[in-house]
């Protein structure tokens, strides 16, 4: 039988502001994980592994889930959705010009 993890080992030592900065730099500034590591080291003196950064970004996704789900739902109900320069989705089917 495996003992449950202690409460102190659950969660993250990082607050919402660090999650927000990392998410902004990764998403809107297109930082690679290596560059994000260097930026957080320079800004905050944090030495995080790339796996640690990935976990941090995954935790941050939860606050975006309601908006993402609403957008996906609206897209799935749309009669016409432009996909790219070569096609569109019309009544749930992909069509080409």
4 domain residue, yes or no: no
Q: Per-residue pLDDT for 36 more than 80?
A: yes
Global pTM reads: 0.65
Q: Per-residue pLDDT for 1 more than 80?
A: yes
pLDDT for position 20: 92
When pLDDT is cut at 50, 70 and 90, the band that residue 32 belongs to is: very high
Mean pLDDT of 13-35: 92
Mean pLDDT of 9-19: 83
Range of 78's domain? 13-96
Burial of residue 36 (number of CB atoms within 10 Å: 0-12, 13-18, 19+): buried
3 domain residue, yes or no: no
Tally of structural domains, the chain? 1
8 domain residue, yes or no: no
């Amino acid at each position: 039988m495996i003992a449950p993890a202690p409460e102190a080992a659950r969660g993250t030592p990082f607050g919402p502001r660090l999650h927000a900065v990392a998410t902004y730099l990764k998403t809107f500034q297109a930082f690679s994980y290596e560059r994000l590591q260097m930026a957080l080291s320079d800004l905050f003196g944090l030495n995080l592994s790339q796996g640690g950064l990935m976990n941090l970004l995954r935790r941050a996704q939860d606050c975006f889930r309601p908006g993402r789900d609403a957008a996906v739902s609206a897209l799935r109900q749309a009669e016409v959705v432009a996909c790219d320069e070569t096609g569109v989705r019309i009544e749930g089917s992909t069509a080409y010009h």
